Structure 1
């Protein structure tokens, strides 16, 4: 039984190491041999064998077989769960090109030299950008974004209504 418990504890230690060494062995055999899969197999083989040996009067061979079956099931579940997590997609990150054609309001007047600040909606959130315009624009005026030369600045023009 000590061997089974030792194998189970080794599997738990490998699982903890997989958090530190994230990605080690990933991709080998299409993900089947990733460190979490190996750790899950080792831990459940050991603990499953210890439970089978301690709870019943079967010998070492059947207990090992039961442990290996538990380990294979856990390895398969770990593999499937990690594939589901790896396929999880988030929304596309908004870029400056998403701002072109949107409207906003001037929060710091754009002076004659052409610089100020505007408040725009980016991904549903209000964001303040440095703004440049061909001419002066008063505070509170509505503007259209013509270009986004950088991640923090835009080129605007006043909206004619």
Structure 2
């Protein structure tokens, strides 16, 4: 019957915002104006409701934001990086690549051996945690 009516309104952030502002505003009213418990509640209740409502609205806005799509494996191809652990021709080393602005370490293979600190480009994604790289030639 009430399915979805209170969806998000009774979330932890909304309840915490309401309770916190109710207490803070009430304590400020008691301390500065010298009102009693009833007066503190009369001041704190609207402040708590307003804070809970704002928290609810901000939460909905953040949850409905779809501007940042999760990066895919194809987004790695052509990304610059640097060798962290030397890469032999017959095994794996490690590279540090910037993916969506964040440094991410991947296991890496190369057709030629690469020393630590070498600048590389990702040429192929082998798996979720491994890439094939080539040396940046300048």
Q: Which has the larger radius of gyration?
A: 1
Contact 2:87 2:109 in 1 (8 A): yes
Pick from 100, 122, 130: which aligns with 1:153? 130
Residue 81 (structure 2) aligns with? 104
**1:100: how far off?**
0.4
Question: C-alpha distance in 2, partners of 1:84/1:158?
Answer: 44
SS for the counterpart of 2:117 is: coil
Question: C-alpha distance in 1, partners of 2:99/2:134?
Answer: 18
Question: C-alpha distance in 2, partners of 1:95/1:148?
Answer: 10
Contact 1:114 1:136 in 2 (8 A): no
Residue 117 (structure 1) aligns with? 94
Question: C-alpha distance in 2, partners of 1:104/1:159?
Answer: 9
Pick from 68, 80, 98: which aligns with 1:91? 68
Alignment CA distance shift 1:110-1:85 (3 Å)? closer
Question: C-alpha distance in 2, partners of 1:86/1:127?
Answer: 25
Give 1 or 2: higher helix fraction. Answer: 1
**For structure 2, which runs of at least 5 residues remain unmatched after alignment?**
11-52
Structure 1 length as normaliser, TM-score?
A: 0.48
Root-mean-square deviation (CA, aligned residues, Å) is 3.1
**1:17-56 correspondence to structure 2 within 5 Å:** 25-26=3-4, 34-36=5-7
Residue 132 (structure 1) aligns with? 109
**1:112: how far off?**
2.6
Alignment CA distance shift 1:25-1:157 (3 Å)? same
Alignment CA distance shift 1:35-1:129 (3 Å)? same
